[in-house]
Chains A and B, each alone.
Chain A
Amino acid sequence: MIPATLDGHLLVSGALFALGLLGVLLRRNTLVVFMCLELVLVASTVALVAFSRYNGILDGNVFVFFILTVAAAEVAVGLAIIVALFRRRQTVQVDELNSLRN
C-alpha cells in the first residue's frame, strides 16, 4: 500500500484540478461545465486538508468548511439559473448562449 504522503495528496488534488479546469474549458454543456467547476473546488479542498494535516493545525480544515458551505449555496443558485435558462431558451449549450454579443 502506498503511504499517505503530502505529495500523494497534492498529486491527487492537482489531477482533480486539471480535470475540472479542462472540463470547464472544453465541455459545451453548461451543466457539465458547472459540475467541473465543483470539481475544481473539491480539488482545492483536498489540497487544503492535506496541508492542514501536514502542518498539524486546523486552519485548512476550517477553510474546507467554508468552501463547502459557499459551494452548496453556489450550486443552489447556479442550478436554479440553469433551470431558468433552459426554460427560457430550450437549450443549455454554451455555444448557443451568445446573446451578450451584439
Chain B
Amino acid sequence: MSPALLASGVLLAPLAAAAVIAFGLRRAPGAATAVALLAAVLVAVGSLVLALGPARDFTASVELLRLGTFGLSLGLKFDDLAALLLAIVGIVGLCVHVFSVGYMREDPDRARYFGGLAIFMFSMLGIVFADSLLMLFIFWELVGFSSWLLINHHFQRTPAAEASKKAFIVNRVGDFGFLLGLVWCQAQFGTTQLDALAKAVDGGAVVAAGLPLLLFCGAVGKSAQLPLHVWLPDAMEGPTPVSALIHAATMVAAGIYLLCRIHFLMVPAALEVILWTGTITALYAALCAVTQRDIKKVLAYSTLSQLGYMVAAFGLGSLKVAHGDHHHLIAAGVGAAMFHLTTHAFFKALLFLGAGSVIHACHHEQDIFKMGGLARRLPVTFTTFTIGVLSLIGMPGLAGFFSKDAILYLAWAKHPGVFAVLALTAVLTAFYMVRLWRITFLGAARGEGAEHAHEGGPALTGPLILLAVLSVIGGYGWFYSGLLGGRFDGVIDSVVHPAGADHTLILLTSVAVLVAGALGAWLLYPAAGEDAVARRAPRLFGLLGGLQASFDRAYGAYVAKVQQRLAMLLNFLEQIFLAGLIVRGLAGVVGLLGLGARALHVGNANAYAYWFLLGLLALWAFAAGLLSF
C-alpha cells in the first residue's frame, strides 16, 4: 500500500466510523462502541506503520474548489514533525478509546459519545496531515466543533452546556485572529501552502511581525494561553477520558503544532510576544492550580501551565551551537516544545485517565478532600498515577525530566529572566502535584465513595499501564533513536541537551525545585479533609482564588456591561430601521397599494364595463400622444 493511500485511510477511517454511528447506530451503543474502537485501532496501527516507516514528504492532494486564481486543495504534508504528532495521537487516542469502553459502560448515550470521539480523531488527524494553512484551519474548526460536542456530552446539566459554549466561543475569538492571518498570508504570498510559504520566506520575502502574531492568536485559543485560557478549566465538565484526549494530549497540542509548522514565519518581535505569553501563562496557571479542590481542575491548570512551558520554549527560538570549529543554528525552540509536547501527552493522558479511574472508583466524586486512602484500594491506579506525577514534576530518570530540562536549559542560555520564572513554576508544579497526590491517595478514606473504591476492569487499567511505561521511557534518546529507529530525528535532533557545567547547573536546579516544591507540599498538606493552607493563611488563599477568578470576572463584566449594551443598542436599531422601516415599511406600502386595488374590485360586471371604457380612453389617449411617459 502506498504511503499516501495509507495516510488517507488513517485520516478517513474515523470519519467513516463517525458517519456510520451518526446515521445508523445512534440507538445501538454496543455496536457504536465496537465501530469507534475498530477505527481507533486502525488509526493507531496505521499511524505507527506510517510514523515508523521510511516514507516522508510524499504528496497527495485533491482540489476541492477553484475560484479564479484561488484554489482550495486538501493535501498531505508528512514530515518528522507530523509523524511524531501522528504517533502520539494514534497511541493516546487508542488508550482513551479503550479506557472509555470501561469508563462509559453505564452511560445510555455512549453511542453519541463514541461518535464524537471518532469525529474528533478525524479532525485532529486532519490537522496533523494538513499541507496548507487553509486546510489546517478547516480541521482546526472541526476540532473546535468536536470538542464542543464532547464537553457537552452531559448536556442535561447546565454547567456542562455552559462550559461547552464557553469553550467554543473563546476558541472562536482566537480563531478570528487565525483567520485574519490566513487572509494576510493569501494576500501577501498568494498561497497558504506551507511548502510554498517556506520557499517564499527562504527566498527573502519580508514578513511583518503582525502575520505570525495573528496566526499565534489561533494557538492562544486552542492551546489555552493567557488571556484565552478560561475555557480549559471549565471544559473539565466533559467526561474524563475526553479531558485526557482533548484537553491534555491532543487538541491543546494543536496550537503548539501550528506554531512549529509556521516557525519559518517567525520574526524576533513576534517570538518575544510568544515567549512572554507562554511564560506568564505557565506561572499564572501554576498559581491557580494550588487552590483547586477538584481533581480534574488541578490537572487542567497543570495542563495550562505545561502548555505555557511549551509556548515559552517555542518563543525562545533557535540556538547557536558550537559544532567543531563552526557555529550553526538549531531550531531548539521547536525541538524543545515538541519534545515536551510528546512527553506531556504521555504523562498528562496518564494522569487524566488515572483521575478518571479514581473518579470511577469513587462513584463520580471529584473533590480530593473527600477521597483519601486510595493507595491500598486502587493499587494499579496508584502506581501509575504516581509515575505520572513524578514524570510531570520532573523526577530525574522519567520522561518529564528530560523535556523540562531541555526547556530550562534553553531558557538559561537565551533568557535568564524567563529561566527564573519557569524554575519558580516548576517549584509550584511539584507543590500542587504532591498536594493532589497525597490528599487523594494517602491517609484514611474520608468519603462514602473512597471507602468502597475498587479497581475497575482491564479496560481501565490497561491504558494506564501502557501510558505509564511511555511516561518513563519517553524521554530517553535511545527510545527515539533505537527503539523507534530514529524516524523522528527531524524533530528530536533539534532538542538541545545541556553539557558540561551547564548540565550540572540545570540538573541541580531541577532537583532543587523538585525537592523544594514536594517538601513544601508534604509539610503543609497532611492528608486531611480540609485545605490546610486555606485554614492557616486564608488571605493568601483568597488572593490566589481571586487571581484565578479574575479573568472570568473581567470577561463577565465586559460581556454584561459592554457587549450586552452594544447588543441591546444594535437590537434597538434593528427593530427601528431593519424590522421597522425596511421590512414592515415595505410590507405596509404594498399592503396600501393592495387596499386601493381591492377597492376597484367591486364584483359588478356593469362597473367593470366603465373601467373598460376608461382603459380604452387611456389607451386611445396614449396612442394619440396625449399622454407621454
**A101:B606 contact, CB within 8 angstroms:** no
> Which residue of chain A is the closest to B612 with respect to CB atoms?
A24
Contact pick for B609, options A24, A99, A100, CB 8 Å: A24
Is residue B602 within 8 Å, beta carbon to beta carbon, of the partner chain?
yes
Tell me how many residue pairs across A and B have CB atoms closer than 8 Å: 28
Q: How far is the CB of A101 from chain B (nearest CB, A)?
A: 3
Q: How far is the CB of B129 from chain A (nearest CB, A)?
A: 69
| Residues of B in contact, count (CB < 8 Å) | 9
Given known A24-B609, A25-B609, A25-B610, contact A102–B603 (CB-CB < 8 A): yes
**A98:B603 contact, CB within 8 angstroms:** yes
CA distance A30 to B604 in the complex (A): 12
**A101:B610 contact, CB within 8 angstroms:** no
Is residue B601 within 8 Å, beta carbon to beta carbon, of the partner chain?
yes
Please, which residues of chain A bring their CB within 8 A of the CB of B604? 94-95, 97-98, 101
**B602:A101 contact, CB within 8 angstroms:** yes
| Bitwise interface map of A from 65 to 80 toward B, beta carbon under 8 Å scored 1, else 0 | 0000000000000000
Please, which residues of chain B bring their CB within 8 A of the CB of A102? 603
Contacting A at CB under 8 A, from B556-614, are 601-606, 609-610, 613
**B605:A97 contact, CB within 8 angstroms:** yes
Please, which residues of chain B bring their CB within 8 A of the CB of A94? 604-606
Q: How far is the CB of B598 from chain A (nearest CB, A)?
A: 10
**B609:A101 contact, CB within 8 angstroms:** no
Please, which residues of chain A bring their CB within 8 A of the CB of B613? 21, 25
Please, which residues of chain A bring their CB within 8 A of the CB of B606? 25, 28, 94-95
**A99:B603 contact, CB within 8 angstroms:** yes
CA distance A24 to B616 in the complex (A): 14
CA distance A101 to B602 in the complex (A): 6
Please, which residues of chain B bring their CB within 8 A of the CB of A99? 603
CA distance A24 to B609 in the complex (A): 7
Please, which residues of chain B bring their CB within 8 A of the CB of A97? 604-605
Please, which residues of chain B bring their CB within 8 A of the CB of A33? 605, 609
Please, which residues of chain A bring their CB within 8 A of the CB of B609? 24-25, 33
Please, which residues of chain A bring their CB within 8 A of the CB of B602? 98, 101
CA distance A22 to B158 in the complex (A): 80
| Residues of A in contact, count (CB < 8 Å) | 14
CA distance A38 to B613 in the complex (A): 16
| Bitwise interface map of A from 3 to 21 toward B, beta carbon under 8 Å scored 1, else 0 | 0000000000000000001
Q: How far is the CB of A78 from chain B (nearest CB, A)?
A: 12
Please, which residues of chain A bring their CB within 8 A of the CB of B605? 30, 33, 94, 97
CA distance A98 to B613 in the complex (A): 20
Q: Which of B604, B606, B610 has the most CB of A within 10 A?
A: B606
CA distance A97 to B603 in the complex (A): 8
CA distance A102 to B603 in the complex (A): 8
Q: How far is the CB of A15 from chain B (nearest CB, A)?
A: 18
Q: Which of B602, B603, B610, B613 has the most CB of A within 10 A?
A: B603
Q: How far is the CB of B133 from chain A (nearest CB, A)?
A: 66
CA distance A14 to B131 in the complex (A): 88
Please, which residues of chain A bring their CB within 8 A of the CB of B601? 100-101
CA distance A94 to B608 in the complex (A): 11
> Which residue of chain B is the closest to A98 with respect to CB atoms?
B603
Q: How far is the CB of B597 from chain A (nearest CB, A)?
A: 14
Please, which residues of chain B bring their CB within 8 A of the CB of A21? 613
Q: How far is the CB of B218 from chain A (nearest CB, A)?
A: 65
> Which residue of chain B is the closest to A97 with respect to CB atoms?
B605
Q: How far is the CB of B620 from chain A (nearest CB, A)?
A: 13
Please, which residues of chain B bring their CB within 8 A of the CB of A28? 606
CA distance A98 to B608 in the complex (A): 11
CA distance A85 to B605 in the complex (A): 14
CA distance A19 to B539 in the complex (A): 109
CA distance A40 to B207 in the complex (A): 88
> Which residue of chain B is the closest to A101 with respect to CB atoms?
B603
Q: How far is the CB of B262 from chain A (nearest CB, A)?
A: 73
- Which A residues are within 8 Å of any B CB, using their own CB? 21, 24-25, 28, 30, 33, 94-95, 97-102
A-B contact pairs, 28 of them (CB 8 A): A21-B613, A24-B609, A25-B606, A25-B609, A25-B610, A25-B613, A28-B606, A30-B605, A33-B605, A33-B609, A94-B604, A94-B605, A94-B606, A95-B604, A95-B606, A97-B604, A97-B605, A98-B602, A98-B603, A98-B604, A99-B603, A100-B601, A100-B603, A101-B601, A101-B602, A101-B603, A101-B604, A102-B603
The 3 closest A-B pairs by CB, nearest first: A101-B603, A100-B603, A98-B603
A28-B606, A98-B603 given; 18 more Cβ-contact pairs under 8 Å: A21-B613, A25-B606, A25-B609, A25-B610, A33-B605, A33-B609, A94-B604, A94-B605, A95-B604, A95-B606, A97-B604, A98-B604, A100-B601, A100-B603, A101-B602, A101-B603, A101-B604, A102-B603
